[in-house]
Amino acid sequence: MSPEGLPYRPCAGFMLVNREGLVFVGQRIDPSAHGFWQMPQGGIDKGEDVRDAALRELQEEIGVAAHLVEVIAQGSRPFLYDLPPELLGKVWKGKYRGQEQHWFLGRFLGEDADIDLEAHDPPEFNEWRWIEPALLPELIVPFKRAVYEELVAEFAPLI
> CATH no. for residue 39?
3.90.79.10
Single-letter amino acid, residue 132: E
The overall pTM is greater than 0.95: no
Task: State the chain's mean pLDDT as an integer.
Answer: 92
Task: Tell me the C-alpha distance between 85 and 143, whole Å.
Answer: 11
Domain that holds residue 43: 3-158
Q: How far is CA 110 from CA 31, 74, 89, 116, in A?
A: 30, 21, 39, 12
* pLDDT tops 70 at residue 156: yes
Q: What is the number of structural domains in the chain?
A: 1
3-state secondary structure 34-77: CCCEECCEEECCCCCCHHHHHHHHHHHHHCCCHHHEEEEEECCC
The pLDDT tens digits of the residues spanning 97-130 come to 889 999 999 999 999 999 999 998 899 999 999 9
Q: For residue range 80-103, what is the model confidence (pLDDT) as tens digits?
A: 999 887 887 777 777 888 899 999
Tell me how far CA of residue 100 lies from CA of 16, 42, 107, in angstroms. Answer: 19, 11, 23
Which helix (DSSP H) or strand (DSSP E) does residue 152 occupy? helix 145-155
Residue 34 pLDDT greater than 90, yes or no: no
